[in-house]
Amino acid sequence: MQINKDWVNTAIEGAKLASIKIMEIYQTDFEVELKPDQSPVTIADKASSKILYQLLSKTGIPIISEEETIPNYLERKQHELVWLVDPIDGTKEFIKKNDEFCICIALIQNGKSIFGLIASPTEQNITMGGNNYGVYHFSFSDNNPTADANKVETLTKNFKKTIAYSRSHLSDKAEKFVANIRNKYGNPQIIRKGSALKFVDLTLGKADFYPRLAPTMEWDTAAGQAIFEGVGGEVLDFANFEPLTYNKESLYNPHFIAKNKELDI
């Protein structure tokens, strides 16, 4: 489908306003709470969620957000379009104050992520797009985000043989994957980074692989998948090598690999 420009502008506005609030809190000695699943949450997560929810609600499209009440599956499966939102992806990195966190907003159509936006509050930039929109990388101050100067070109075969993986979530399986890549392509470079910012590195050609062999939720990956697919990448279920799908009954993702389509694993 053609992406509505008003929806895009609303997502951009929300990401900028939420970033301002996040950075205000980032400079303080904020408290950390634990959710029932023992994952951390801060007042910045909640404040960002409130801003994004209020703005995205204006589009009339239902919203699934990490920090809001999740609609029942019997209800949400009826919707052709839904927003998937992570008000702060990388809360652990936010708490560590290492700058490796972001805002993720994705538009889902019948289970497929068709548009994504990833905003970095610390870097003050946005990466956004999808297959039917183009992909753009621009600063918060840019008044013409879809200008040619901001367009990200399709991935090339000039591979860096670089693997991006989580700073906070490592596993023996991930280490085995690195060993397999080393055997196939030679000794790879490793980028350790928190949050969906790894998808930005993939999209900008700074990395070729992102294996995730630990739990993630749909709102962690949906924006990155739409953006990365828009430049010729793919995000595949490790079990069947099919693209990840969204608005499932369980909002957990399977283990996956994000990679340049030209690379075998």
**In this predicted model, what pLDDT tens digit does every residue of 75-113 receive, in sequence order?**
999 999 999 999 999 999 999 999 999 999 999 999 999
Q: Is the pLDDT of residue 190 over 80?
A: yes
Q: Are residues 10 and 32 in the same domain?
A: yes
Q: Are residues 167 and 197 in the same domain?
A: yes
Q: How many CB atoms lie within 10 A of CB 191?
A: 19
| Contact yes or no for 103/215 (Cβ under 8 A) | no
> Residue 170's pLDDT is what?
58
Indicate whether 155 belongs to any domain.
Answer: no
Report pLDDT for 14: 98
Q: Which of 150-154, 162-166, 225-229, 246-250 has the lowest mean pLDDT?
A: 162-166
Residue 208 domain-assigned (yes or no): yes
Which residue among 86, 115, 150 closes a domain?
150
- Of 100, 129, 150, the one marking the end of a domain is 150
Q: Among all chains, which residue has been given the structure tokens 């699934």?
A: 64
Instruction: Please report whether residue 156 resides in a domain.
Output: no
- pLDDT beyond 70 at 264: yes
The proportion of the chain whose per-residue pLDDT surpasses 90, expressed as a percent, equals 80
**Cross-strand bridge partners of residue 34:** 40
Tell me what pLDDT residue 168 has. Answer: 62
pLDDT in tens, 114-147: 999 999 999 999 999 999 999 999 999 999 999 9
The domain of 212 spans 162-260
Mean pLDDT (the chain, rounded): 93
Both tokens assigned to 254: 């399977």
The model's pTM is 0.95
Cβ-contact 67, 41 below 8 angstroms: yes
Clarify whether residues 18 and 102 are in a common domain.
Answer: yes
Indicate if 52 and 182 belong to the same structural domain: no
Neighbouring-strand partners of residue 204:
none
Beta pairing class for 63-65 and 81-89: parallel
Does 81 share its domain with 167?
no
Do 252 and 171 lie in a common domain?
A: yes
- Same structural domain for residues 90 and 135? yes
* pLDDT band at residue 265 using 50, 70 and 90 as cut-offs: confident
Q: Which of 150, 177, 198 is the last residue of a domain?
A: 150
**Does residue 34 sit in the same domain as residue 113?**
yes
Our measurement of the distance from residue 253's CA atom to the centroid of its chain's CA atoms, rounded to an integer in Å, reads: 13
Reduce the DSSP state of residue 101 to 3 states and report it. coil
Q: Which helix (H) or strand (E) holds 75?
A: helix 73-76
Q: What tokens does 65 get?
A: 């957000």
Q: What's the pLDDT at 116?
A: 98
User: Phi and psi (nearest 5°) for 227?
Assistant: -65, -50
Number of domains present in the structure of the chain: 2
Q: Is residue 265 situated within a structural domain?
A: no
Query: With b meaning 16 or more CB within 10 Å and e meaning fewer, what string describes 138-164?
Result: bebebeebbeeebebeebeeebebbbb
pLDDT of residue 156: 74
Residue 113 and residue 222 in contact, taking contact as beta carbons nearer than 8 Å: yes
User: pLDDT value at position 151?
Assistant: 97
